[in-house]
Amino acid sequence: MTLLFLFILVKVNSVDEIKNNPLEMFSLIWLDSNPNESQTTEQKLRNIINQFKKFQDIQSCREFIETTCEQDRLILIVSGKLGRELVPNIHQLRQIISIYIFCKNKPINKEWSSNYSKVKHVVTNHHDLISRITEDHRIEKKTEEPLAINIFSVGGKSTVGLNGKNLISIKLSSNCWSNPNSQSLYLMLTYLSNCQQLSKLKIEPLYNLFRTRVYLEDIYLWVPTQIKDLQIPINDLKQLKIIVERCTHLRILSLETHKANVRKEVRDWINDNTVGSVFRWEHPIENIWLGKKIGQIDTNNKRFKTTDEV
């Protein structure tokens, strides 16, 4: 008997339906040209929101924000000087829900930032910054986070029904990938292909990737084509090509790999076939924000030109 454990994120409209969610849809972004900000403060912020990214230049920060899925929720901390330039360009984006100006001159920065409704606070010290974000995030989680549903499948039969009409984000995890479970995964991914609102998919083994890889070989052929944000284990370049050929709307790729040569092949191929792609390695995940594609190919439904094509 095998056990398949799936975490499902479903967008809900009723606050009464919202439960404690083990998956983080919030990300905290800190833009500051000074790399020596307090490490203690940074750690306290990570304790509030685990998904934490720090930037020193406006361009890379803006690209990250603009390529993040609209269903995600971004909270931005920015200095007064950089905020004057960045905030007008990203304020209208749906994924931005809160902005905090962290500066030395509160009156001046409060004056210009008052024109932007998503600027929650202008603060001048670390204590106020942490306390404001802590309190605001507690409220935001109640109104923004989706419903988490646990599905247990034994012998291919699910214990819960699933209405995919409002499904926007899903995480599939298992501590026991095996042949029967791979069939359950196939059935689930086939079902998800018909969920038109679904844009974010995460597939992960909970145990050693090397021991479970044999049962994951075919999942690249099952990934729903409407996905924009995908995390998936990978062990060769061929699998990447299958993914980008299937998923024509793909914007963000998070590839779980423990092979340095695969990472290099992936980066080389993406650089050869796109312009402006951004990479960030966070062991064991290679995060890729896909840039503009080169050489569109309409035949065979391909998004990128592959290096082995004539």
Give CA–CA dist 151/84, Å, rounded. 46
pLDDT above 90 coverage of the chain, percent = 36
Q: What is the mean pLDDT of residues 104-120?
A: 93
Looking at the chain, the number of H-run helices and the number of E-run strands are 9, 16
| Residue scoring higher pLDDT (175 or 138) | 138
CA pair distance 25, 123, nearest whole angstrom: 25
11 has pLDDT over 80:
no
pLDDT of residue 299: 34
pLDDT band at 309 (very low <50, low <70, confident <90, very high): very low
Enter the tokens of residue 13. 């409209």
Tokens encoding 289: 């924000």
Q: What is residue 33's predicted lDDT score, i.e. its pLDDT?
A: 81
Q: What is the pLDDT of residues 148-176, one digit of tens each?
A: 444 444 444 444 445 566 678 887 766 55
Class of domain 26-144: alpha beta
Q: How far apart are CA 165 and CA 189, in angstroms?
A: 15
Query: 200 and 229 in contact (C-beta within 8 Å)?
Result: yes
Q: Tell me: pLDDT of 307 over 70.
A: no
Please report the pLDDT score of residue 265 as a whole number: 95
- Residue 105 confidence (pLDDT) above 90: yes
Strands 73-78 and 26-31: parallel
What pLDDT was estimated at residue 39?
Answer: 77
Burial class from Cβ neighbours inside 10 Å (0-12, 13-18, 19+) for residue 54 reads middle
Position 184 scores a pLDDT of 65
| Domain boundary assignment for the chain | 26-144, 147-301
Look-up of token digits 């004056």: 111
Query: What mean pLDDT, rounded, does the chain reach?
Result: 76
Q: Are strands 200-205 and 229-233 parallel, antiparallel or unpaired?
A: parallel
With beta carbons less than 8 A apart as the criterion, state whether 6 and 188 touch. yes
| pLDDT (0 to 100) of residue 18 | 30
Residue 62's CB: how many other CB atoms inside 10 A? 17
Under DSSP, the state recorded for 114 is: T
**pLDDT digits over 18-77, tens only?**
333 334 578 899 998 876 666 788 888 988 888 889 999 999 999 999 988 777 789 999
pLDDT in the model for residue 36? 66
Model pTM score: 0.48
Tokens of 199: 């844009």
Per-residue confidence (pLDDT) for residue 5, from 0 to 100: 44
Structure tokens at 80: 């007064």
3-state SS class at 63: helix
| Sequence letter at residue 228 | K
**pLDDT at residue 214 is higher than 80:** no
Identical fold for domains 26-144 and 147-301, yes or no, is no
Of 33-47, 66-80, 256-270, 290-304, minimum mean pLDDT range: 290-304
* Inter-residue contact 78 to 118 (CB < 8 Å): no
C-alpha to C-alpha distances, 50 to 75, 77, 164, 296, nearest whole angstrom: 12, 15, 28, 37
Query: Which of 50, 129, 114 is CA-nearest to residue 84?
Result: 114
Integer Cα distance of 247 and 20 in angstroms:
31
246 sits in which H/E element: helix 237-246
Residue in the block written with tokens 């050489």 = 295
Mean pLDDT of 128-156: 66
What CATH code is assigned to 147-301? 3.80.10
Which tokens hold the place of 49? Answer: 């929101």
Write down the H helix ranges in 114-168. 126-144
Give the closest residue to 141 by CA, choosing from 24, 41, 42, 11.
24
- Phi–psi pair at 73, nearest 5 degrees: -125, 115
Residues 6+ apart with CB under 8 A from 126: 38, 40, 41
Express each pLDDT in 218-238 by its tens digit: 677 888 889 999 998 888 899
Would you say residue 247 has pLDDT above 50? yes
Dihedral sign of CA atoms 3, 180, 213, 69 in order = negative
**Percent of the chain at pLDDT above 70?**
68
Q: Which residue has the higher pLDDT, 266 or 257?
A: 266
Please state whether 80 falls in left (phi above 0), alpha (psi between -120 and 50) or beta: alpha
